[in-house]
């Protein structure tokens, strides 16, 4: 089990206020734009940033003069497309560029864009136009409604003093959020271990690590290192040291930042008469209110509680057997959970996640997931050899429609960890489609895999992230602001979560031999065991997700809370309790950032995901269903509300039956 990987995997899609830098062709709104303009220096970033902001200001003055007639929405959306190209890539570089000075310059630029967006959100002339412009159809009406809401949520119709305060708060929150992320990204933690302490951990994980003066190995807390140590190290002391380091990533400084961010968001919500940030956020989502989220989380809790307790009992028994101690004296510690979960899985199902690595080399695994999408959704991925990107190891793919050959979009893939790189797994939509503008979408997939190969869990993570990229790449929306992953945040995970269990299907895995004839196929018996073992640990895993979601909602609730005290109390109430001296929220970037009061969306989206999956119950390679799904859901973006997209695809209203059946299985 990788609790953190599961938390991290479905990570940040940069939403509308994120910023970035330069597209290769700043003014060409259409075309494939496969080239990546190399960024070499901080000065180059600063100069480009300045130029683009000036263009955005000039464009804004022009847009304000546009009459609020039938042409207005197209002009506004064209402007939004230009701003995407001027703004998005630079902030992305802050997460992935190998040069620290470039990352810092990208962050500074991101803050300037944030100020720009903050002011744009309160632009009275544009707000008036959005309310007056006539929609041509229901798609336009949806977008105009969304624009009016966004202007209002930015404070355009507040009295002047509150309006100014809203902007100040926005800018302050953005700056604090950046510092929070940077403290994690640049922490560069190294934890010392003797070789003896690493007994049980494959040598490939640590043999090339640097050593300190006493000859101890210095290991990072990146996933390819952290995972094997907490799952496989025989030494409880070694696991504990690694687990504590990861759990405290971000440090006490981030707790202070989180406290301030929470307070400021609460003040922001009150400017609008909302009782809490959670209320302010959820009223625009599928869930509609914190009360409804609470009720849903309560149902999830009821469905997983018993299984969690049962699993923990089994792990305690495994620990007692392993150490030869009486059960009554054995306490399961948090740093024991992953280790004994692996042991139980190995003992009962004789399955070992490490055993999958030889079958899933990283590059071939990527090609396998691309082939799967090709088969299922009728597209083609073509590698563009020698294309420049932000790092020499990044790969570029041109995506096209298999039947017509028409180009659809661009995908960049960044597979391996390196110093200063974003250390979870995420997809950034760098450009959104617009059929009106003949503009093709672009997405960047960023993960951190072991060069030795992937476990089955990691293959699932890769497919999950590719699901986000596919949502961006295969969209056919008319307006960029409704394209691809620009959907409600408690829906956005559904397309990715739907695909996750494709990796447990033998016919699906057989596609591996198509992309890698030299690779040995995964033995059926090994996969059968993994499928059987998969359920063990789910009770604990879903309970953890439930805890994260409940904590997020309480932190952003109507009563002010100290982040660590609240966490200690809530985690303390779970069966494994809270470990004094640890500070998980200091590394919980989701809730410091754009998933604040939105973490529940992972569980909420999963209800939708499992319902969508029912259409593939008989055949996970059903290309007809795949094509219908592509057209009815992925292509639409947010042109229609999510409930409607699901209904269009399934031919009925969505329900939670598949989700709760799965939990109860």
In the complex, which residues of this chain contact Zn ion (CB under 5 A)?
A: 10, 493, 496
Q: Return d(Cα 314, Cα 337) in angstroms, integer.
A: 11
Distance CA 189, CA 527 (A): 35
CB of 493 to Zn ion, least distance (A): 5
Contact 181, 593 (CB under 8 A): yes
Are 108 and 48 in contact, with CB atoms under 8 Å apart? no
Q: State the minimum distance, in angstroms, from the CB of residue 430 to Zn ion.
A: 17
Q: Which residue is nearest to Zn ion (CB)?
A: 10
Residues 242/229, Cβ–Cβ less than 8 Å: yes
Question: Is 77 or 490 the residue whose CB approaches Zn ion more closely?
Answer: 490
Q: Pick between residue 248 and residue 496 the one whose CB is nearest to Zn ion.
A: 496
Beta bridge partners of 428: 444
- Pick 308 or 458: Cβ nearer Zn ion: 458
Q: What minimum distance in Å lies between the beta carbon of 467 and Zn ion?
A: 7
CB 9 → Zn ion: shortest distance, Å? Answer: 6
Q: What is the DSSP letter of 20?
A: B
Q: Please identify, using beta-carbon distances, which residue of 217 and 426 lies nearer to Zn ion.
A: 426
Shorter beta-carbon distance to Zn ion: residue 14 or 255: 14
Residue 333: which of 237, 248, 245 has the closest Cα?
237
**Which is nearer to Zn ion, 496 or 582 (by Cβ)?**
496
Residue 468 Cβ, how far from Zn ion at the closest point, in Å? 6
Question: For Zn ion, which is the closer residue by CB, 376 or 447?
Answer: 447
For residues 367 and 496, which CB has a smaller minimum distance to Zn ion in the complex? Answer: 496
User: Which two structure tokens, joined as six digits, stand for 75?
Assistant: 């002009």
CA dihedral 591, 594, 597, 603 (to 10 degrees): -90
Task: Give the Cα-Cα-Cα angle 384, 386, 389 (nearest 5 degrees).
Answer: 90
From the CB of 12, what's the least distance to Zn ion, in Å? 9
Q: At what angle do helices 42-65 and 72-96 cross, to 10 degrees?
A: 170
Q: Which residue has the tokens 């959306």?
A: 77
Question: Which residue matches tokens 């094509």?
Answer: 627
Q: How far is the CB of 150 from Zn ion (least distance, A)?
A: 23
Q: Which is nearer to Zn ion, 91 or 485 (CB)?
A: 485
Residue with tokens 């450009």: 431
Min CB(605)–Zn ion separation in Å: 8
Q: By the 8 A CB rule, do 82 and 60 touch? A: no
Angstrom distance (rounded) from CA 220 to CA 240: 14
b/e string for 569-594 if b means 16 or more Cβ within 10 A?
A: ebbeebebebbeebbbbbbbbbbbbb
Query: Least distance in Å: CB of 10 to Zn ion?
Result: 3
Going by C-alpha positions, the residue among 232, 304, 395 that lies closest to residue 665 is 304
Residues 632, 645: contact at Cβ < 8 Å? yes
């Amino acid at each position: 089990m990788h609790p953190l990987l599961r938390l991290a995997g479905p990570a940040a899609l940069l939403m509308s206020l994120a910023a970035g830098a330069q597209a290769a062709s700043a003014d060409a709104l259409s075309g494939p734009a496969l080239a990546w303009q190399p960024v070499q220096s901080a000065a180059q970033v600063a100069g480009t940033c300045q130029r683009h902001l000036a263009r955005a200001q000039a464009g804004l003055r022009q847009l304000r003069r546009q009459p609020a007639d039938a042409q207005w929405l197209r002009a506004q959306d064209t402007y939004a497309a230009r701003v995407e190209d001027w703004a998005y890539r630079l902030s992305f570089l802050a997460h992935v560029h190998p040069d620290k000075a470039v990352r810092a310059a990208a962050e500074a630029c991101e803050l300037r864009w944030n100020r720009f967006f903050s002011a744009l959100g309160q632009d009275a002339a544009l707000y008036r136009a959005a309310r007056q412009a006539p929609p041509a159809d229901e798609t336009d009406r949806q977008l105009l409604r969304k624009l009016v809401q966004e202007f209002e949520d930015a404070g355009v119709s507040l009295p002047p003093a509150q309006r100014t305060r809203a902007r100040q708060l926005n800018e302050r929150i953005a700056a604090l959020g950046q510092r929070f992320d940077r403290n994690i990204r640049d922490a560069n933690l190294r934890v010392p271990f003797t070789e003896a302490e690493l007994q049980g951990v494959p040598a490939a994980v640590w043999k090339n690590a640097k050593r300190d003066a006493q000859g101890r190995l210095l290991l990072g807390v990146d996933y390819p290192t952290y995972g094997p140590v907490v799952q496989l190290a025989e030494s409880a002391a070694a696991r504990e040291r690694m687990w504590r380091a990861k759990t405290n990533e971000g440090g006490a400084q981030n707790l202070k930042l989180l406290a301030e961010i929470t307070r400021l968001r609460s003040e922001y919500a009150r400017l609008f008469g909302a009782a809490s940030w959670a209320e302010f956020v959820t009223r625009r989502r599928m869930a509609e209110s914190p009360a409804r989220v609470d009720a849903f989380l309560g149902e999830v809790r009821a469905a997983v509680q018993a299984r969690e307790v049962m699993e923990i009992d089994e792990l305690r028994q495994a620990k007692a057997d392993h150490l030869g101690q009486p059960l009554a004296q054995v306490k399961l510690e948090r740093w024991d959970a992953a280790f004994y979960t692996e042991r139980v899985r190995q003992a009962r199902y004789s399955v070992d996640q490490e055993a999958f690595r030889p079958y899933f080399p990283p590059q071939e695994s990527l090609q396998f997931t691309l082939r799967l999408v090709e088969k299922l959704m009728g597209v083609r991925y073509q590698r563009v050899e020698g294309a420049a990107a932000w790092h020499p190891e990044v790969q570029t793919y041109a995506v096209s429609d298999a039947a017509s050959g028409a180009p659809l979009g661009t995908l960049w893939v960044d597979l391996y960890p390196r110093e200063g790189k974003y250390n979870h797994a995420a997809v950034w939509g760098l450009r959104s489609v617009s059929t009106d503008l003949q503009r093709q979408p672009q997405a960047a997939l960023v993960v951190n895999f072991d060069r030795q190969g992937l476990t089955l869990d990691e293959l699932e993570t890769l497919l999950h992230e590719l699901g986000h990229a596919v949502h961006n790449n295969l969209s056919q929306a008319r307006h960029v602001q409704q394209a691809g992953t620009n959907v409600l945040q408690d829906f956005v995970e559904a397309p990715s979560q739907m695909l996750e269990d494709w990796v447990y299907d033998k016919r699906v895995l057989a596609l591996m031999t198509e992309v890698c004839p030299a690779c040995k196929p995964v033995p059926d018996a090994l996969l059968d065991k993994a499928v059987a073992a998969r359920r063990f640990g789910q009770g604990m895993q879903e309970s953890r997700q439930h805890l994260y979601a409940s904590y997020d909602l309480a932190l952003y609730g109507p009563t002010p809370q100290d982040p660590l005290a609240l966490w200690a109390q809530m985690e303390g109430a779970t069966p494994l309790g809270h470990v004094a001296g640890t500070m998980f929220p200091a590394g919980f970037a989701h809730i410091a950032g754009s998933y604040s009061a939105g973490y529940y969306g992972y569980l909420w989206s999963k209800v939708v995901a499992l319902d969508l999956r029912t259409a593939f119950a008989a055949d996970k390679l059903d290309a007809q269903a795949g094509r219908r799904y592509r057209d009815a859901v992925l292509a639409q973006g947010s042109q229609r509300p999510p409930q409607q997209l699901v209904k269009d695809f399934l031919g009925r209203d969505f329900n939670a039956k598949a989700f709760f059946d799965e939990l109860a299985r």
